[in-house]
Structure 1
Amino acid sequence: MQTPNSGPLKSTETTLEIVEAIREHGALGVTETATILDIPKSTASDHLRTLRKHGYLITEDGKYRLGLRFLELGDHARNDHGFFKTAKPEVDQLARNTGELVHLSVKENGAGVIIYEAEGERAVSLDTFVGRRVPMHCTALGQVMLANMSRERVAEIIAEKGLPAVTEETITDEERFFRHLETVREDGYATIRGERVPELGSIAVPVKKNGTVFGAVSVCCPMSRASDERFEAELPKRVLEAANRITLDLKYS
Structure 2
Amino acid sequence: MIEPLDKDVDYLVPALARGLSVLGLFNAQVRALSIQEIAERLQVSTSAIYRILVTLTHMGYLNKLNSHYELGARVVSDGFSYLASRDIVDVAMPHLNALRDRTSLSCHLSIREHTDSLYLYRAFAAQRLSVNIPVGTRIACHCTAMGRMLLTALDDARLGALYQHIRLDDYPSPAPRTLPELQSMIRQDRERGWVVHRSDYSTAIATVIHDHTGQVTAAINLSGADAVMDPEGATERFQTLLLETSACISRELGYRDTRPLA
Q: TM-score, normalised by structure 2?
A: 0.62
Q: Distance in 2 between matches of 1:76 and 1:110?
A: 16
Per the normalisation by structure 1, the TM-score is 0.64
Q: 1:242 aligns with which of 225, 228, 245?
A: 245
Aligned residue number for residue 225 of structure 1 = 228
User: Which residue of structure 1 aligns with residue 136 of structure 2?
Assistant: 131
- Secondary structure of the corresponding residue to residue 163 of structure 2: helix
Deviation, structure 1 residue 207: 0.3
Residue 205 of structure 1 pairs with residue 210 of structure 2: no
For 1:201, the aligned partner's letter is T
- Residues 226 and 87 from structure 1, CA distance in 2 versus in 1: closer, same or farther, beyond 3 angstroms? same
Deviation at 1:182, TM superposition (A): 1.9
1:104, distance to aligned residue in structure 2 (A): 0.4
Q: CA deviation at 1:91?
A: 1.1
CA distance in 1, matches of 2:197, 2:148: 9
Q: Secondary structure at the match of 1:218?
A: strand
Query: What code does the residue aligned with 2:233 have?
Result: E
The answer to whether structure 1 residue 216 and structure 2 residue 219 are counterparts is yes
- Contact kept in structure 1, 2:131 and 2:202, CA below 8 Å: no
Q: Give unpaired runs (5+ residues) of structure 2.
A: 1-47, 61-75, 256-262
**Structure 1: gaps (5+ residues):** 17-69
Partner residue, 1:156: 161
**1:179 maps to 2:180:** no
Contact 1:114 1:130 in 2 (8 A): yes
Deviations along 1:152-174, whole A, 9 cap, x unmatched?
11112222333244433322233
What does the per-residue CA deviation read over 1:52-107, in whole Å, with 9 as the maximum and x for residues that have no partner? xxxxxxxxxxxxxxxxxx99x74993476311111111111111111111110111
Structure in which a larger fraction of residues adopt helix? 1
Equivalenced residue count is: 188
DSSP 3-state at the match of 2:142: coil
Identity across aligned pairs (percent)? 19
Kindly provide the amino acid, as one letter, of the partner of residue 161 in structure 1.
Answer: I
Instruction: Give the equivalent residue in structure 2 for 1:46.
Output: none
